Structure 1
Amino acid sequence: MATALQNSAKIPIPPINPKDPFLSKLASVAATSPETLLNRPVERSVSYNEHRPRRPPPDLPSLLLHGRIVYIGMPLVPAVTELVIAELMYLQWMDPKEPIYIYINSTGTTRDDGETVGMETEGFAIYDALMQLKNEIHTVAVGAAIGHACLLLASGTKDKRFMMPHAKAFPLQVITNRDTLVKLIAKHTGNSEESVATVMKRPFYMDSTKAKEFGVIDKILWRGQEKIMSDAASPEDWDRNAGIKVVDGI
Structure 2
Amino acid sequence: MIGGSTTSMSMSMAAYHPAVAMPLSSRSPWTRRCRTCCSANGAAYRAKIPMPPLNPNDPFLSKLASVAAASPQTILNPLPKDTPPYLDIFDPPNLMATPAQVERSVSYNEHRPRRPPPDLPSLLLHGRIVYIGMPLVPAVTELVVAELMYLQYMDPKEPIYIYINSTGTTRDDGETVGMETEGFAIYDAMMQLKNEIHTVAVGAAIGQACLLLSAGTPGRRFMMPHAKAMIQQPRIPSSGLMPASDVLIRAKEVIINRDILVKLLAKHTGNSEETVANVMKRPYYMDSTRAKEFGVIDKILWRGQEKVMADVAAPEDWDKGAGIKIVDGF
- Give TM-score, length-normalised by structure 2: 0.54
Report the equivalent of 1:211. Answer: 291
Please give the alpha-carbon distance, in whole angstroms, between the structure 2 residues aligned to 1:223 and 1:143: 16
Report the equivalent of 1:179. Answer: 259
Q: Equivalent residues in 2 for 1:186-201 (5 A)?
A: 186-201=266-281
Deviations 1:143-199 (A, max 9, x none): 100000000000000000000000000011434211110100000000000000111
Please give the alpha-carbon distance, in whole angstroms, between the structure 2 residues aligned to 1:171 and 1:202: 9
Return the match for 1:220 from 280, 295, 300: 300
Q: Equivalent residues in 2 for 1:67-78 (5 A)?
A: 67-78=127-138
The runs of 5 or more residues in structure 2 that have no matched partner are: 1-98, 236-253, 313-330
Please give the alpha-carbon distance, in whole angstroms, between the structure 1 residues aligned to 2:160 and 2:167: 21
Asked if structure 2 preserves the Cα contact closer than 8 Å seen for 1:146 and 1:173, the reply is no
Offset of 1:202 from its aligned partner?
Answer: 1.4
1:103 corresponds to 2:160? no
Report the equivalent of 1:46. Answer: 103
Moved more, 49-58 or 151-160: 49-58
1:140 corresponds to 2:220? no
Asked if structure 1 preserves the Cα contact closer than 8 Å seen for 2:162 and 2:197, the reply is yes
Number of aligned residues: 188
Offset of 1:223 from its aligned partner?
Answer: 2.2
Report the equivalent of 1:27. Answer: none
Report the equivalent of 1:159. Answer: 219
The runs of 5 or more residues in structure 1 that have no matched partner are: 1-43, 232-250
Asked if structure 2 preserves the Cα contact closer than 8 Å seen for 1:114 and 1:174, the reply is no
Deviations 1:177-226 (A, max 9, x none): 11110100000000000000111111210000000000000000112448
Offset of 1:50 from its aligned partner?
Answer: 3.1
**Corresponding letter in the other structure for 1:46:** E
Asked if structure 1 preserves the Cα contact closer than 8 Å seen for 2:233 and 2:281, the reply is no
**Corresponding letter in the other structure for 1:77:** V
The structure whose residues are more often helix, as a share, is: 2
1:116 corresponds to 2:196? no
Offset of 1:47 from its aligned partner?
Answer: 3.1
- Quick one: structure 1 residues 225 and 210, their matched pair in 2 at CA, closer, same or farther if it must change by over 3 Å? farther
Asked if structure 1 preserves the Cα contact closer than 8 Å seen for 2:167 and 2:207, the reply is yes
**Corresponding letter in the other structure for 1:82:** E
Please give the alpha-carbon distance, in whole angstroms, between the structure 2 residues aligned to 1:121 and 1:151: 12
**Corresponding letter in the other structure for 1:127:** Y
Deviations 1:49-91 (A, max 9, x none): 8345443210011000000000000000000000000000000
SS at match of 1:217: coil
Deviations 1:110-129 (A, max 9, x none): 10011111111000000001
Please give the alpha-carbon distance, in whole angstroms, between the structure 1 residues aligned to 2:168 and 2:207: 5
Instruction: Say which structure, 1 or 2, has more relative contact order (CA 8 Å, 6+ apart).
Output: 1
Asked if structure 2 preserves the Cα contact closer than 8 Å seen for 1:145 and 1:168, the reply is yes
SS at match of 2:204: strand
- The percentage of aligned residue pairs carrying the same residue is 83
Asked if structure 1 preserves the Cα contact closer than 8 Å seen for 2:180 and 2:234, the reply is no
Please give the alpha-carbon distance, in whole angstroms, between the structure 2 residues aligned to 1:102 and 1:133: 13
Asked if structure 2 preserves the Cα contact closer than 8 Å seen for 1:110 and 1:173, the reply is no
Please give the alpha-carbon distance, in whole angstroms, between the structure 2 residues aligned to 1:64 and 1:58: 10
Offset of 1:139 from its aligned partner?
Answer: 0.1
Asked if structure 2 preserves the Cα contact closer than 8 Å seen for 1:114 and 1:173, the reply is no
Report the equivalent of 2:23. Answer: none
- Give TM-score, length-normalised by structure 1: 0.71
Please give the alpha-carbon distance, in whole angstroms, between the structure 1 residues aligned to 2:210 and 2:146: 20
Asked if structure 1 preserves the Cα contact closer than 8 Å seen for 2:129 and 2:160, the reply is yes
SS at match of 1:141: strand
Please give the alpha-carbon distance, in whole angstroms, between the structure 2 residues aligned to 1:77 and 1:140: 20
